Amino acid sequence: MTDFLKSAPLAYENEAFFRSPDGRILRMLAEYQEPLARFRREQIQDTVVFFGSARFQGRKIAAETLAAVGEKNTSPKQLEQDLKRAQANVDMARYYEDARKLAYMLTKWSITIPARRHRFVVTTGGGPGIMEAANLGAHEAGGKSIGLNIQLPFEQHPNQFITPSLNLQFHYFFMRKFWFAYLAKGLVIFPGGFGTMDELFEILTLAQTEKLAKKILVIIYGSEYWNKIINFQAFVDAGTVSQQDLDLFKIVDNPEEAFEFLRGGLTSYHLGDTPKKKGEVLPEIAKTRP
């Protein structure tokens, strides 16, 4: 009797292959194509991205955390450290509240724009802190918001205020960064750590070297924090950037100023091509080239 081999799995159904080094290129392509399909399905035309620390809390929670520190039975040294950290959270909670308010204002305005697709949708890294605050503000305004999450060993988990159909998960940082930049018409940088600085300088470098096909408005939020972290004028004084490079961004200190800057710039640069007739080409998302 002739023995027959079992049918081999189809290549695209072979999970072991997809998870192997040989399947890496397909995983990369999936992190490009699946979000693209999602954004088309959800009618997302462009975005405004909020970056900032994942560690900030709202005022109420920060105050409750500070009050609870004194109840812990711990060593005097540990207590001092915990109190210092909790007080810092209280001090920085204003940025959480400001991100929430700005996202609310931006979303309330954007949903009034007459367009066939959603304009200037609030987008974050999808986690806690400033990301949660921005998604919350958009949610409270009754609009959609996007969360571009990343698999990390700590801090990162989807917050509950992302529009469920726009909650995306990435393995590759560079694909996540691509989707932050590709649809962005505005960028708001709240106080944050290494990741926030990485995202800020990447966009500034692309703008400086004219590698962006469109104008991205860049807001750096919180002069008190950022002036301590980065001396932008020192770049100019040392001759490492030009004076006009400092015009690539604007530093603001309240949600109202940030909103007026965004609304004015987004209207001036990006609302002239808003499609109003059937058959008109939609910019950005209609063009699938990287």
Domains of the chain, earliest start first: 40-58+93-270 (3.40.50.450)
Length of the chain in terms of residues written: 290
Residue 5, judged by CB atoms within 10 A of its CB (0-12, 13-18, 19+), counts as: exposed
Q: Choose among 158, 160, 103: nearest CA to 134.
A: 103
Residue 122's H or E segment, with its range, is: strand 121-124
Average the pLDDT over 73-86 and give the result.
Answer: 81
Count of C-beta atoms within a 10 Å radius of residue 59: 13
Q: What is the pTM of this model?
A: 0.88
**Helix orientation angle between 173-182 and 24-41, rounded to the nearest 10 degrees:** 30
* DSSP for 8-22, written as a single string: PPPGGG-HHHHTSGG
**Reported confidence tier of residue 39, pLDDT bands at 50, 70, 90:** very high
pLDDT above 70 (res 280): no
Interval 133-150: pLDDT, tens: 999 999 999 999 999 999
Can you list the positions of beta strands (E) in 32-86? Answer: 47-51
Interval 219-248: pLDDT, tens: 999 999 999 999 999 999 999 999 999 999
Residue 205 vs residue 152, higher pLDDT: 205
Residue 274 vs residue 202, higher pLDDT: 202
Distance (Å, rounded) from C-alpha 237 to C-alpha 243?
9
pLDDT above 70 (res 182): yes
Average the pLDDT over 111-115 and give the result.
Answer: 95
Interval 80-97: pLDDT, tens: 888 888 888 898 999 999
Of 43-52, 63-72, 217-226, 264-273, minimum mean pLDDT range: 63-72
